[in-house]
Amino acid sequence: MRFIILYAAISLVLTITAASSKKIVCYFGAWSVYRPGNGKFDINEIDPTLCTHLIYSFVGVDGKDVKVLDTWSDLPENLNGFGKFVSLRKKNPSIKIMVAVGGWNAGSVPFSQMAGDPVQRKAFAQNVVMFLKKYQFDGLDIDWEYPAQRGGSQEDIKNYVKLARTLKKAFSQHGYLLSAAVAAPESSASKSYNIAEMSKYLDFINLMEYDFHGPWDGHTGMNAPLSASSSDSGNELKLNIKASVNYWVKNGAPREKLILGIPTYGKSFTLSNPRNKGVGAPATSPGTAGPYTREAGMLGYNEICEMHKANDWEIHQDKERGVPYAVKGNQWVSFDDISAIIAKAKFVKQENLGGAMIWSIETDDFKGICGKRYPILKALNSILGRV
């Protein structure tokens, strides 16, 4: 009996530890400090107890150097974004605070040129170490979008591994973390990565499990479906979270290093015919820009919840794909509601993945306009055992 009780107690402790060891990685888009009205974000509004890792986005690659992209927003002599960000440690001493290099707007070419030159690659790693030390970051997130694509070279695939290895070696004596944001679906990842090799040098891998569909398709589609639908065929069967996670695991990524990306935004479309409004309906253009993000074709969760609160939107749950969409007139938006977030967090646990990531913290309902503050982050924390 004593043995059974002891065994049960140990099992409970291990279960709690496993759950609470899941990472919750929160990206912050620094440009959000310039947004208007309720969308204007201040770093001091971040609740660092809801994240295990915070990542400041972005800095750039300039040859062998790290380039500050917004000197007004980032640097101490102005808005001091870097300083405010790392000061969040005071509220959560265990948090890891990192900086991301690259992003979509940076393109692929600057990375390709630097990583392909052994001298520049080594110098870049040394300069990153100095940058992290100067601004007191805990590590670097590589956001190269994407190796061997967008003007890059086929050599990028092996040079990405060399870059990761060089950075990891330079970081080792300082204890800095190295992660990467990567294309999730097979259709893109298969062109860009030697998954097994790159995984050796990365502490964790942020799977960008969103943008599976968008206005570029010419028809409506889900931004971040959990599963395929029975109506999907061909490549569509691979454009979902379950298929892409399976691809990464099958190709050598350790499950415990994979962090499941979850969007705090939706993809929006303008319907060709408002009466034809299902998934796959023809769309003429991106949806109308929101008042805060001001980008046609996307809406932050904070914008979506305010719009739904104020207007008569039809919300449809796609039970097969595991995410909803909403329609009003000729406007159509695919997004993640709280039930979709919970389902994805449960998937993280079921698949023994390393945790979840959000892109990005400033489009959660951070002001609590529609209810409690940070509903998406709090839903993740509730399932992943952190609150």
**Over the stretch 19-37, which tens digit does the pLDDT of each residue have?**
468 999 999 999 999 999 9
Q: Mean pLDDT across the chain, nearest whole number?
A: 95
Which pLDDT score is estimated for 4? 42
Q: Write down the domain spans for the chain.
A: 2-263+338-383
- Between residues 310 and 43, the one the model is more confident about: 43
Express each pLDDT in 123-132 by its tens digit.
999 999 999 9
Asked if pLDDT for residue 8 goes beyond 90, the answer is: no
The percentage of the chain sitting over the pLDDT mark of 90, rounded to a whole number, equals 93
- CA-CA distance, 376 to 336, in Å (whole number)? 9
The percentage of the chain sitting over the pLDDT mark of 70, rounded to a whole number, equals 94
Indicate the pTM of the whole model.
0.94
> Which is catalytic among the residues 45, 145, 186, 236?
145
Provide φ and ψ at 158, rounded to 5°. Answer: -80, -30
Active site residue 306: no
Which pLDDT score is estimated for 228? 98
Express each pLDDT in 36-91 by its tens digit.
999 999 999 999 999 999 999 999 999 999 999 999 999 999 999 999 999 999 99
Asked if pLDDT for residue 380 goes beyond 50, the answer is: yes
Express each pLDDT in 344-358 by its tens digit.
999 999 999 999 999
Which residues pair with residue 207 across a beta bridge?
182, 260
- CA-CA distance, 9 to 17, in Å (whole number)? 12
1 exposure class (CB count in 10 Å sphere: 0-12, 13-18, 19+): exposed
Output the CATH code of domain 2-263+338-383. 3.20.20.80
10 exposure class (CB count in 10 Å sphere: 0-12, 13-18, 19+): exposed
What would the mean pLDDT of 247-251 be, rounded to a whole number? 99
Which pLDDT score is estimated for 14? 38
Asked if pLDDT for residue 6 goes beyond 70, the answer is: no
